[in-house]
Amino acid sequence: MSYRGRFAPSPTGLLHAGSLVAAVGSWLCARHAGGQWLVRMEDIDPPREVAGSAAAILAALPRFGLMADGPVIQQSSRIAAYDAAFEQLRRADLVFPCWCSRSELAGVSGIHRDGHCLASADPSRPPAWRIRVPDEEIAFVDALQGPQKQSLREEVGDFVIRRVEGFYSYQLACVVDDAWQGVTEVVRGSDLLDSTPRQIWLQHCLGLPTPRYLHLPLVLDSQGRKLSKSERALEVDPIDPLPSLRRALSFLGLTPDENASDPSALLDAALAQFDPRHLTQCSDHRAA
C-alpha cells in the first residue's frame, strides 16, 4: 500500500508552534515517500472546542504552504461510524457501562481494572462506557523513538471510549478514522506516544490495521514546559508565515533556505534535503 499520512488537529485554539511542527513533520514524511497527506479536524469534544478555531486552523495551513490531498474530514460528521464501531465492541462484549466517579477511582490510583466497578449501576443517569484491556504488554516500534511497550492494565486500565455526555473519545474516533482514511503512517507529537498502545488495542478489537507510528519530539516553551493550545502559547502568525515555518524546519533538524520568498518554496527546499532518518537530530530545544 502506498504511503498515506495525516495531520489531525483539535479545534481547541489557534495553530501554535507545536502543532505547526506536527503538520510540517507529517507533510515532509508524506511528500518524501511520494505519498498523500490528509487533514482531519478532530472536532468531537464540544466542551473543549474554541469557537472559530477549526476554521482558523484550516485557513492557516495553506498560508504555510500545507495543502491537503483531498477534502478535510470533520469528525463531527462521522458520528454514525463511531456508533457502528461502538456497537461492534458492545456486541463482542468488550465494553461495559460504568458509573464510577473520578473521586471513587482516586482511591485506586485513578485506574479502573478488570471491568470491576466501584459504583453500582444507576439507571437514572447515563453511564460512561469503558473497554476492557488485556493483562499483557502492547509493544510497537516507533520509527523515531524506537521500541515501546506498555501494560494497559497496569498503566492505563479499562479506558473510556464513550463519555457520560455521549461524546466518543479521541482514542475511538482516531482509530476508526485512521483506518477509514487508509492512513498508513501516523506522524504526530510525542505527547501522544502513550495513547498509541490504547489505539493498537482498539485496532485489534475492531479488526482494523495498525499503521506505522512516528512520534516527533515535543516543542517546549521558553520555560521548558510542553506547549498547550489552551495556554495560547506561541501561536503562529499565518499572515507572516515564514519566520515560524523556518523555526519549525530548524526544530526538525533542517537548515531553512534563507532565500526562499514564500512558504511553498521554503517547504520544497526543505523537502529536497529531508530524510526521515535524520529526524533523530530534531532538537529538543525551545521553539520560542
Cβ contact 122:116 at 8 Å: no
Q: Which of residues 4, 8, 95, 241 is near ligand GLU by CB under 6 A?
A: 8
Q: Minimum distance from CB of 151 to ligand GLU (Å)?
A: 22
Stretch that binds ligand GLU, among 3-11, 97-105, 106-114, 134-142 (CB under 6 A): 3-11
Comparison of 214 and 269: residue with beta carbon closer to ligand GLU: 214
260 contacts ligand GLU (rule: CB under 6 A): no
- 16 touching ligand GLU, by CB under 6 A: no
Using the contact rule CB under 6 A, the part of the chain among 4-12, 82-90, 104-112, 139-147 near ligand GLU is 4-12
Fill in the amino acid letter for 110.
Answer: G
Nearer to ligand GLU (CB atom), residue 8 or residue 66: 8
Binding residue for ligand GLU, selected from 31, 112, 132, 188, defined by CB under 6 A: 188
Cβ–Cβ under 8 Å, residues 61 and 23: yes
CB of 155 to ligand GLU, least distance (A): 19
Touching ligand GLU, residues 28-57 (CB under 6 A): 42
DSSP string, 11-47: SSSS-BHHHHHHHHHHHHHHHHTT-EEEEEE----GG
Q: How far is the CB of 10 from ligand GLU (least distance, A)?
A: 4
Q: Is 145 exposed, middle or buried (0-12, 13-18, 19+ CB in 10 A)?
A: middle
Whichever of 233 and 242 has its CB closer to ligand GLU, that residue is 233
Residues that contact ligand GLU, how many (by CB under 6 A): 7
* Interacting positions 190-229 with ligand GLU (CB under 6 A): 192
Outline where DSSP puts E strands in the chain. Answer: 4-7, 36-41, 73-74, 95-98, 128-131, 137-142, 146-151, 159-162, 185-189, 212-216
Measured in whole angstroms, the distance separating CA 146 from the mean position of its chain's CA atoms is: 18
CA distance 23 to 17: 10
Straight-line distance from the first to the last Cα atom of the chain, in angstroms, rounded to the nearest whole number? 38
Burial environment of residue 261 by CB neighbours within 10 A (0 to 12, 13 to 18, 19 or more): exposed
Show the cell assigned to 211.
499503521
Work out which of 4, 10, 158, 200 binds ligand GLU, going by CB under 6 A. 10
User: Does 85 help bind ligand GLU (rule: CB under 6 A)?
Assistant: no
Beta strands in 75-198 (DSSP E): 95-98, 128-131, 137-142, 146-151, 159-162, 185-189
Among 133, 174, 227, 254, binds ligand GLU (CB under 6 A): 174
Spacing of C-alpha 140 from chain mean position: 17
By CB under 6 A, is residue 68 in contact with ligand GLU?
Answer: no
Determine if 14 is a binding residue for ligand GLU (CB under 6 A): no
Name the minimum Å distance from CB 242 to ligand GLU: 24
Query: Is residue 176 within the footprint of ligand GLU (CB under 6 A)?
Result: no
Q: Which stretch binds ligand GLU (CB under 6 A): 5-13, 118-126, 219-227, 231-239?
A: 5-13
**Contact yes or no for 50/13 (Cβ under 8 A):** yes
Rounded to whole angstroms, how far apart are CA atoms 147 and 106? 31
Site membership for ligand GLU, residue 177 (CB under 6 A): no
| Residues at the site binding ligand GLU, with contacts judged by CB under 6 A | 8-10, 42, 174, 188, 192
